[in-house]
Structure 1
Amino acid sequence: MKVAILGCGAIGGVVARAVRDGEVPGAELVGVVHAERTDPPGLPVLDVEAAIEQADLIVECAGQRALAELGPSIVAAGTDLLVVSVGALADDALLAKLRDTGPGRLHLCSGAIGGLDVLAAAARMGGLSEVRIVTTKKATTLIQKWMDEPAAQRLRTAVEPVELMRAPARAVTAAFPASANVAASVALAVGDWDLVEAAVVADPEAPLTSHVITAEGSAGDYRFEIRNHPSPANPATSGVVPHAVLAAVGRLAAPTGAFA
């Protein structure tokens, strides 16, 4: 399977080099598409059109805006698309374009969390009555462009945890696009953006990024707690994310014997 990577930052760079080095059986890197002025060393660089033409699968690691701008043309051309920035799919129109128009297929990466298969099964069995996710990150990584300077300074100088937002997953995903892909993943798994309540907590002393997911329904009660080390290259994301992407690419390249 020929693979192109869209984005070559803290996630895409790791993924591209691992595929290039043969670490994913059945996958071959054709190149990376990136927006930086300087090309990444040791990696072939393509424009989007060449990536669509040459790749069987394009892996999106470039953020929500890039996915919205480029994703529809990728699947419309018949190339499969693996999405990391699932928060962008809070836009129902974009999700419909990527999922329903084809002929390229849409695949989603679980990223920094697990348990999505169980939540999806429970939702299918009899529905879920409550679903919550609380994401806690180091305070300075949660500063957003929409915040005024006093709010940003509050996070820079925080000495105790601060809950920044608690709202339906769609609203939290829009407010924290680089930090709330996990909330979007939970909402997509259970099939209900309005059911999932998401909270974002800024903790100046947080050594790890944590996600606590709880759900209740006729199938049972569930609680998952995930605690990830931040990426050394970008503390706003978890270091495990590129490896979740590589696992997903591996399942698509050689699916025999792998969990679906």
Structure 2
Amino acid sequence: MSSSTVRKVGVVGWGAIGRVVGTALAEGRIAGAELVCIVDNRPLGEAAPARQVPFEEALELCDLIVEAAGQGVVREWGERILDSGTDLLVASTGALTDDELGGRLLAAGPGRVYFTGGAVGGLDLLQAARSMGPLDEVRLTTTKLPATLEQPWMDEELLTRMRNATGPVEIMSGTARDVPVKFPKSTNVAASVALAVGDLDTVRVQVVADPAADRTRHVVEASGPHGAYRFEVAHRPDPGNPATSQVVPHAVLRSLGALAGRTGQIL
């Protein structure tokens, strides 16, 4: 694609992430990319900055789809998007911890699949370290408000413990293969770290509920034969959707800028 080609973008999901991304595209803030349509199963109202269309029509109109609606969209539509020749930018990276789905997406095409790091940094350094040899240990600790972590599978004892907590409470620990399945809207960071490391089972994940967590906190610790690394981020939750950090849509926009050919930035 030449630098003069404008990416025609469709946004799937008009929530906390999609609305920020779509509005920025509609206002021309991403050079080389324009918003042509929105896909959502809810009425958008007259204020929406682009046409609301069915998924099938979006594939005809766009050469790049931004997923901002959850892991289910990647599972249901990912292959069809790529098979149509349309590229896919995934925000809900937790879907890619499904080995079977990940394999099918990599085999699909001619469209290409990309993912954004979202609410965590240091992924480029982890990828560089991994290129020198496997990392021995990778740990991620995610701390959020209890209400943002409640899930249908939780029993009454666990829910009561979370709701009555006066301090940090560990909710679950496991690998980056296990945890994103249990918290599909809250632990995409685990999947992003695992994708950077290249091994779902190497990344150990601890999910903590803390009633005092006015910020969502992610701590990544990794070590290997060539060094040791530690990254910590603390984000303001999105007011409209506290399960999502405010920075996530801006990480998506940065990825869009790179895909649209913006120059002069660190990749």
Question: Fold match, TM over 0.5?
Answer: yes
Match of 1:28 in 2: 34
Equivalence map 1:238-249=2 (5 Å): 238-249=245-256
Matched position secondary structure for 2:29? coil
1:39 to partner: Cα distance? 4.1
Gapped regions of structure 1 (runs ≥ 5): none
Matched position secondary structure for 1:128? coil
TM superposition outliers: structure 1 runs of 4+ over 6 Å: none
Cα distance between partner residues in 2 of 1:36 and 1:152: 30
Find out whether 1:53 has 2:60 as its counterpart. yes
CA contact (8 A) 1:39 1:45 kept: no
Matched position secondary structure for 2:16? coil
Cα distance between partner residues in 2 of 1:16 and 1:24: 10
The number of residues matched between the two structures is: 260
Cα distance between partner residues in 2 of 1:168 and 1:42: 39
Give the letter for the 1:27 counterpart. A
Further displaced range: 126-135 or 43-52: 43-52
Equivalence map 1:29-108=2 (5 Å): 29-39=35-45, 41-43=47-49, 44-108=51-115
Cα distance between partner residues in 2 of 1:230 and 1:40: 27
Equivalence map 1:198-237=2 (5 Å): 198-237=205-244
The CA deviation string for residues 54-91 of structure 1, in whole angstroms up to 9 with x for no partner, is 11110000101111001110001000000000001111
Cα distance between partner residues in 1 of 2:200 and 2:242: 27
Aligned with 2:166 (options 151, 159, 166): 159
Matched position secondary structure for 2:140? strand
CA contact (8 A) 2:32 2:262 kept: no
Cα distance between partner residues in 2 of 1:46 and 1:200: 37
1:136 to partner: Cα distance? 0.3
RMSD: 1.2
Match of 1:144 in 2: 151
Gapped regions of structure 2 (runs ≥ 5): 1-6
Give the letter for the 2:121 counterpart. G
TM-score, scaled to structure 1: 0.97
Quickly say closer, same or farther: Cα 1:67–1:40, change in 2 above 3 A: farther
Matched position secondary structure for 1:192? coil
Q: What percent of counterpart residues are identical?
A: 52
Find out whether 1:110 has 2:142 as its counterpart. no
TM-score, scaled to structure 2: 0.94
Further displaced range: 175-184 or 42-51: 42-51
Aligned with 2:134 (options 117, 123, 127): 127
Cα distance between partner residues in 2 of 1:41 and 1:252: 27
